[in-house]
């Protein structure tokens, strides 16, 4: 499951679900905003972005979400890497072909284990 809003709930998720894996995806603020505009911005039908109200609010929200993600990764000593076939194999044990590696998108994963 994925959601931008979970950036605000990462600590709660780790406390409530002590055996989940959390995969984080990071793209710099301006690149995220530019991609959102390219994808349709406020004209995207689903999900509705109406509550963001305007471009300035959207930029602020992207910055806030990214800040929460980066802070969480720092506190858990997570390593950011490009999303590649090798990364998928190393983390999930599955050999798949990643057709395009985006140089401005990085991923990391927190593997929680409730047996500790």
Q: What is the DSSP string of the chain?
A: ---GGGGGTHHHHHHH-TT-EEEEEE--HHHHHHHHHHHTGGG--SS--GGG-SHHHHHHHHHHHHHHHHHHHHHTTPPPEE--HHHHHHHH----------TT-EEEEEE--TT-
Task: Let me know: does 112 contact 16? Beta carbons within 8 Å.
Answer: no
User: What does pTM read for this prediction?
Assistant: 0.88
pLDDT at 1: 66
pLDDT (tens, 9 = 90+) of the chain, 116 residues, equals 678 889 999 999 999 998 989 999 999 999 999 999 999 999 998 888 888 899 999 999 999 999 999 999 999 999 999 999 999 999 999 999 999 999 999 999 999 886 54
Which residue ranges make up each domain of the chain?
Answer: 4-111
């Amino acid at each position: 499951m994925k959601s931008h809003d979970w950036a605000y709930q990462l600590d709660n998720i780790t406390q409530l679900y002590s055996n989940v894996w959390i995969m984080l995806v990071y793209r710099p603020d301006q690149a995220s905003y530019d991609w959102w505009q390219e994808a349709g911005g406020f004209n995207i039908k689903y999900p509705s972005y109406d509550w963001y109200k305007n471009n300035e609010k959207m930029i602020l929200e992207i910055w806030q979400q990214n800040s929460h993600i980066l802070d969480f990764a720092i506190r858990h000593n997570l390593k950011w890497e490009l999303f590649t076939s090798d990364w998928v194999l190393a983390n999930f044990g599955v050999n798949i072909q990643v057709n395009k590696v985006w140089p401005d998108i990085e991923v990391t994963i927190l593997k929680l284990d409730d047996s500790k």
